[in-house]
């Protein structure tokens, strides 16, 4: 009976501790959509328009333009970038492509999604997507793994025929992410996130005469917000269960090997 109570208390502790961990592994809602979403795009890495996760940014452009946006991604997140390009009523077949780069301007591979897609002649729109790998807290320089910091989105038409160049188009870009949880945790972290212009104030930027936009957005609860994960929970619970198993084994085996008690002589 006593062991049953102990195991019941352990299971209750397991349920209470695993609750927050399960919540952490749910999709990250990011910033809610609002009327402050950007309505333009940059034309290079240095002038990329900043957007928050959860926002839908729009821009009017011409076929052949390079459109750039940037967004923050923190440790443990799996960002997904989606883009929709609305095409004119009459146009020839054209191919559009979306690329994502990290703070070091390294092109990141997509786990899945239609990164390049060809719109048939006369098609009203074309949709693209790129789901990135999990952002890691630390990685070897040669690995090319995604690291926390600013990410850049580039949207453009490729192999554009001359008859299509300059036609008006409108683009929508959305960024969301999921929390990978403790399964993606690593032992290590960057001293600073890969954010261009980090540590440079706006006054210093104006004095230098550089009008380029520096990345200023960060996750809602700050960088390295993913230091806590369910990895800590399951590690602690594993230790608790191991201790209970030891206590139970001792309780079952104590007394084994002792000589039987001999009743005293009458």
Q: Which pLDDT does position 217 carry in this prediction? A: 76
What DSSP designation does 21 have?
H
Q: What is the pLDDT of residue 62?
A: 93
Does residue 145 contact residue 102 with C-beta atoms inside 8 Å? no
CATH class of 29-226: mainly beta
* Distances 222 to 11, 24, 78, 117, 219 between C-alpha atoms, Å: 34, 16, 17, 36, 5
The pLDDT tens digits for 186-222 are: 666 777 888 886 545 555 545 544 444 456 777 776 7
Mean pLDDT over 76-105 rounds to 92
Quick: pLDDT tens for 31-62: 344 568 899 999 999 999 999 999 999 999 99
135, exposed or middle or buried, with CB in 10 Å at 0-12, 13-18, 19+?
buried
Taking only the tens place, the pLDDT of each residue in 106-160 is 999 999 999 999 999 889 999 999 999 999 888 887 888 899 999 999 999 998 8
Residues 212-216: contacts with CB under 8 Å, at least 24 apart: 212/46, 212/47, 213/42, 213/46, 213/47, 213/48, 213/49, 213/50, 215/50, 215/70, 215/72, 215/103, 215/150, 216/50
Averaged confidence pLDDT in the chain: 77
Determine the average pLDDT of the residues in 166-187.
82
| 114 contacts 129 by C-beta, under 8 angstroms | yes
- Mean pLDDT to the nearest integer, 156-165: 87
């Amino acid at each position: 009976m006593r062991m049953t109570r102990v195991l019941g208390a352990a299971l209750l502790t397991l349920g209470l501790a695993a609750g927050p961990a399960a919540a952490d592994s749910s999709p990250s809602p990011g910033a809610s959509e609002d009327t402050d979403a950007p309505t333009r795009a940059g034309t290079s890495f240095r002038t990329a328009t900043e957007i928050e996760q959860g926002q839908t940014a729009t821009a009017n452009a011409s076929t052949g333009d390079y459109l750039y946006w940037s967004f923050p991604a923190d440790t443990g997140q799996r960002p997904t970038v989606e883009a929709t390009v609305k095409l004119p009523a009459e146009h020839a077949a054209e191919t559009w492509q979306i690329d994502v780069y990290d703070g070091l301007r390294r092109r990141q591979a997509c786990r899945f999604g239609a990164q390049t897609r060809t719109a048939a002649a006369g098609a009203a729109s074309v949709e693209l997507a790129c789901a990135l790998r999990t952002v890691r807290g630390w990685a070897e320089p040669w690995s090319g793994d995604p690291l926390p910091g600013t990410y850049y989105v580039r949207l453009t038409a490729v192999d554009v025929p001359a008859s299509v160049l300059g036609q008006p188009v409108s683009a929508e870009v959305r960024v969301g992410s999921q929390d990978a949880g403790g399964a993606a945790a690593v032992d290590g972290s960057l001293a600073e996130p890969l954010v261009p212009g980090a540590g440079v104030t706006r006054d210093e930027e104006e004095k230098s005469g550089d009008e380029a936009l520096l990345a200023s957005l960060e996750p809602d609860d700050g960088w390295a917000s993913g230091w806590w994960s369910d990895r800590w929970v399951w590690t602690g619970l594993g230790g608790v269960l191991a201790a209970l198993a030891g206590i139970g084994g001792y309780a079952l085996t104590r007394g084994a090997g002792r000589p039987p008690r001999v009743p005293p002589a009458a």
